[in-house]
Structure 1
Amino acid sequence: MNDLGVSDNNSSSISSITGSIVQEVQVTAVDDTNDPEGKKLLRKQDWHVIPPMALLYLLSFLDRANIGQAKLNGLTESLNLSSHEYNLCVSLFFVTYAVFEIPSNLALRKFGPVLWFPIIMVAWGTVITLMGLAHSYGSLLACRLVLGACESGIFPGGCYYLSTWYTERELSRRISIFFSASALAGSFGGILAYGISKMDGVGGQEGWRWIFYLEGIITVIVGVLAYFFLHDFPSHPPSFLTKSEHKRVRIRLKIPQETEPREHSIWKEVFIALATWRLYIWALCYIGLLVPFYSLSVFSPTIIHNLGFETYTAQLLSAPPYAFAFVTTMTTAYFSDKYNRRSIFILCWLLITAVAYVILIAVQQPIIKYLAVILATGSVSPAVASCIVYLSVNIHSQEERATSLAFMISFGNIGGIISGQIYRTQDAPRFILGHAVNLGFCALGITSVLILRFSLRWKSQHIGA
């Protein structure tokens, strides 16, 4: 039984009934899960598709969250920023990030991943480098706004890109690997910032500026190289597959042989996606996850610092929560794929996240509060990855999926705006307001996933009746 409450053998028939508009190739499906040659081909595909996208997202997450590490190294004092001004710089990144996500996904469809991803990567790497030159609140804020627009295409675009390369049963683990790059970024981001900050005074530049300089330059270099190691959508023959292997991939993914443009059909499916009421419940679930996720990514060094640890110690202690998040995300992906379940994992991890915030609010001991930060980080991360897959496997048309993913992620990233405002300097060291708001959004996520779980089960039973 899967998340729809029906057997896996019926999933393909439900797919056709529930509105997939893409015409499928009328061939016998290839089951690569039991065929040795198929497994070998899938592993080959994994090695060429997933690591490049994970690297791009790792740098994206590192670049958007490094403002939190820069704060510990004197950013706010150097630019004479108030708590409100710093929080606005954190939050307004997500305004342009959310606004440009759907247009960026549509641009990805038009220009292809080989061209589009390197373009936006070089763009945001350049902006990050320029952030090191900021000398006022206005210049830092402008850089954050532009950075949000440039980074907007990498995560929803990456999720959509992977969903075109894998079947529903294969997708969870791959998207989780892609998403776990954020945990890796958080894990070594603090260690990297700790090392770079030791360059304080080199070239007459403060340590926090070197964080932006070096991380931005690395992103630009990788962005240029990405043009040569990324691959197109599976509908186009990739260089790493032979002609027969590509044919097998197309059959497995049921990619149609299209001979004429489908612009009318594409826009029709975009409107169908936006007219589906469950999409808005998914969006509420996603924002319930992203408020705690983003607040932890930016403010966990500050939270840990206010537990009584020195600046450099706090930077190093920000690594273990994300190392734990990487483990939980990958473990969840494995069992989610094995049992073809999504919603139950989201629900369980959200409940654990809520418990962690209750501990942060109620408990005074620093060590226990630090363990609660680890627990919250390690439980919200797999829930985010599972939510993305939960939406992807329940929408079968490529254009509907691209639009739905971009909308859910775009709406959810409003949570980034909220998360940037709830941890205020005047609330230190306990940050009761921030923890309480995150607890409330966990409750929103729990409610939303329950609605989705029961409505999808009712839908499948109604179709089968």
Structure 2
Amino acid sequence: MDEKPNHSVSDKESDGFVLPNETPLYNAHVDVSGIDEKKLIRKVDITLIPWLSLLYLLSFLDRASIGNAKLYNLEGDLGITDKQYLISLTVFFFSYAAFEVPSNVFLKRLRPSIWLSILILFWGVTMVVQGLVHDYASLVTVRWFLGMFEAGLFPGVSYLLSCWYKRSEFGIRMAVFFSATTASGAFGGLLAAAISKMDDIGGKPGWAWIFILEGLATVVAGVASFWLVQDFPDTAKFLSEAERTVIIRRLQGDDQFSAAGEEFRWKYIRQSLLDWKTYVGMIIHCGCVMPQYTFSLFLPSIINQLGFRATPANLLTVPVYVCACVIMCLIGFLADRYGRRGLFNIGFMCLSVSGYIILILSKSAALSYFAVYLAACGIYPVLPNNVVWMSNNVEGSYKRSVTLGMIFSFANINGAVSSNIYRQTDQPRYVLGHGLVLMYLGFGLVSTTVYFILTKRENAKRERGERDEVIKGQSGGNEKNGTFESVVEAKREKGDDWSGYRYVL
């Protein structure tokens, strides 16, 4: 198909980077001929991914360890009922959801190395305090603050990584980063089983030591993060000026026009609020997050009700998470290579559905344990894949930060639902809990299909030229799509609404 005037690509190339017509070459004065792009990306991977993954492992370990601690008489020692325990889980999600969007805006306005490190340090201290609680009121208070301080990490890191990688590279990195959740599930079971043996040391029960020791590890990580968390590409200190230039040029060549920096304007916030993709994305992510939260919080209890005692139940969660981790990383790689992220969503949500249907119908412990594997291998690959998909289809630094924050925030409000659906009165089969997870998976399947169809239809309209803007000095375009002095201005003002932008399906 012939390219339209305002979609054209110039013949000018600079060191392998082809930039759209009229786009100023970033740092045109910098010589990048000596930079090996593959080695540079490996350097970025090694510097960013391992430490950020460790931080998310600690985050998920800290929020979900209460599920492990419950098996070691937490409720009895605090004198709380099952309903009060569920409320303490619920409170976490309200503060977590409330602070995600503001945290992402602060992250963009401040340095990630400072903002994220402060949050990590504070939630580590909160975890230690959680091991010192003595009644229901103090447990609920601590869980509220834990949610508030943890709120900024996942949306912040998701946004930060999206500012470093091309859209076709982001998936495997996000999958590796998110694999920390499966690692925390596996490691959490082993750790809880080991720490529980400290029962009565210092006059504290085993479950308290789980919180205290995990919290102290997070405090250490928070202090180290002031030096180990990196900032955005245009200011990253671990890169030379030539290396920063290469990173930004390749992002701009991938239609990430704002990679070189963007001044804050309320217009970008409004663009996010008025974009239909934001709201459909919120529903899709609910269908990913709620099942994942219920799985991580209640897997030890589910296995426990299959006839296994506390420590064996925790240990039997380990192979489930290991299997889910392998599948998640594989799907991250395949989705980067072949695209069609929406179809991956649909396929693996269906796999989860099959697992939960078996859990509802099964009366065999062995079959139910097999179904847990199906559920895990369906739930865990979908969530990072969906984060990448949503991020891939939003252009503009501030718009992306707000859109991701809104998507995560709304989805995490539904984490409050996940905390209350696996009741002791429903054991051992937990029909209510499994049924509600199936309902959320249904929401995810329907909304993913809608998002896929509408973005595909929009891409087709842009191919036909129906969204072309009027660019002064060039022929073609429709005034209803806007009139601009140049393609550069059209990109800056319209972001992913620009006619040359193509959505990832």
TM-score, structure 2 normalization: 0.84
Contact 1:25 1:257 (C-alpha < 8 Å) held by counterparts = no
Which one-letter code corresponds to 2:57 in the other structure? Answer: L
Q: Check conservation: 1:60, 1:151, Cα contact below 8 A.
A: yes
Give the counterpart letter for 1:37 in structure 2: D
Preserved contact between residue 264 and residue 398 of structure 2 (Cα < 8 Å):
no
Letter of the aligned partner of 1:106 in structure 2?
V
- Deviation (angstroms), 1:340: 2.0
User: Deviation of residue 91 (structure 1)?
Assistant: 1.3
Residues 24 and 102 from structure 1, CA distance in 2 versus in 1: closer, same or farther, beyond 3 angstroms?
A: farther
* Counterpart residue identity of residue 399, structure 1: Y
Amino acid at match of 1:54: S
State the Cα distance separating 1:331 from its structure 2 match.
Answer: 0.3
Q: For the structure 1 residues 363 and 36, does the alpha-carbon distance in structure 2 shift closer, same or farther, using more than 3 Å as the test? A: farther
Post-superposition offset of 1:250: 1.9
SS at match of 2:49: helix
- TM-superposed deviation, 1:238: 2.0
Deviation at residue 277 of structure 1 after TM alignment: 1.5
Using the TM superposition, give the Cα deviation of residue 371 of structure 1 relative to its aligned residue in structure 2, in angstroms: 1.3
Give per-residue Cα distances to partners, 1:264-321, cap 9 Å, x unaligned.
3xx2111101111121111111111111110011010000000000111001011111
Q: Is the 8 A contact 1:25 1:256 kept in 2?
A: no
2:248 aligned residue: 250
The 3 A distance-change label for structure 1 pair 439 and 245 is same
How far has the Cα of 1:459 moved from its partner? 0.5
Greater alpha carbon shift after TM alignment, 347-356 vs 250-259? 250-259
Is the CA contact (8 Å cut-off) linking 2:122 and 2:149 kept in structure 1? yes
Partner of 2:294: 295
Query: Normalising to structure 1: TM-score of the pair?
Result: 0.91
The AA in structure 2 aligned to 1:247 is T
Call closer, same or farther: CA 1:68–1:49 in 2, change over 3 Å: same
1:135 aligns with 2:137: no
In structure 1, what is the equivalent of residue 352 of structure 2? Answer: 353
Distance 2:289 2:248 in 1: 34
SS at structure 1 position matched to 2:79 = coil
Cα deviation code 1:45-86 (max 9, x no counterpart): 100011111111110000000000010011011111111111
Residues 413-449 of structure 1, C-alpha deviations (whole Å, 9 max, x = no match): 1221000010001001110000000011111100010
| Cα distance between partner residues in 2 of 1:237 and 1:427 | 52
SS of corresponding position for 2:169: helix
What corresponds to 1:416 in structure 2? 415
> Structure 2 CA distance, aligned partners of 1:257 and 1:338?
23
SS at match of 1:165: coil
1:343 and 1:400 map into 2 onto residues whose CA distance is: 22
Aligned residue for 2:452, secondary structure, equals: helix
Q: Mapping of 1:15-54 within 5 angstroms?
A: 25-26=24-25, 37-54=36-53
Alpha-carbon contact 1:90-1:420 (below 8 Å) kept: yes
- In the TM superposition, 1:1-400 aligns within 5 A as 25-26=24-25, 37-239=36-238, 241-254=239-252, 262-264=263-265, 267-400=266-399
Deviation at 1:341, TM superposition (A): 2.3
Shift of 1:104: 0.5
Equivalent position SS for 1:248: helix
More helix by share: 1
- Supply the distance in 2 between the matched residues of 1:201 and 1:190 (Cα, whole angstroms): 20
- Give the superposed CA RMSD: 2.2
Superposition misfits of 4+ residues, deviation over 3 angstroms: 23-29, 255-259
3-state secondary structure, aligned to 1:413 = helix
Task: Tell me how far apart the structure 1 counterparts of residues 227 and 97 of structure 2 sit (CA, whole Å).
Answer: 29
Preserved CA contact (<8 Å) 2:123 2:146: yes
CA–CA separation in structure 1 for the residues paired with 2:54 and 2:375: 24
Q: Residue 243 of structure 1 aligns to which amino acid in structure 2?
A: E
Counterpart code for 1:249: I
Mapped to 2, the partners of 1:61 and 1:152 lie a distance apart of 11
How far off is 1:242 after superposition? 2.3
**Counterpart code for 1:434:** G
Tell me the equivalent position of 1:19. Answer: none
**Separation in 2 of the partners of 1:326 and 1:155?**
18
* Secondary structure, aligned partner of 1:429: coil
Q: Please list the CA deviations of residues 308-353 of structure 1 after superposition, one character each: whole Å capped at 9, or x if unmatched.
A: 0011100101111111111111000010011122111110000000
Contact 1:290 1:416 in 2 (8 A): yes
What is the CA–CA distance in structure 1 between the aligned matches of 2:43 and 2:290, rounded to whole Å?
A: 36
Could you report, residue by residue, the CA deviation over 1:198-232 in whole angstroms, capped at 9, with x for unpaired residues?
Answer: 11111111000000000000000110011111211
Q: Which amino acid aligns with 1:253?
A: L
Q: Secondary structure at the match of 1:169?
A: coil
Aligned ranges for residues 445-460 of structure 1 at < 5 Å? 445-460=444-459
Give the Å deviation of 1:13.
5.0
Residue equivalent to 1:17: none
In the alignment, the residues of structure 1 paired with residue 202 and residue 414 of structure 2 have an alpha-carbon distance, to the nearest angstrom, of 38
Deviations 1:345-386, CA, capped at 9 Å, x for gaps: 110000000000000001110011011112211210110111
- State the structure with bigger RCO (CA 8 A, min sep 6), 1 or 2: 1
Structure 2 distance, partners of 1:105, 1:27, is 26
The offset of 1:27, in angstroms, is 6.5
Residue 463 of structure 1 and its aligned partner are, at CA, apart by 1.4
Structure 2 residue runs of 5 or longer lacking an equivalent are 9-21, 29-33, 465-505
Alpha-carbon deviation of 1:257? 9.0
Residues 425 and 238 (structure 1), Cα distance of their counterparts in 2 relative to 1, 3 Å cut = same
Task: Give SS of 2:133's match.
Answer: coil
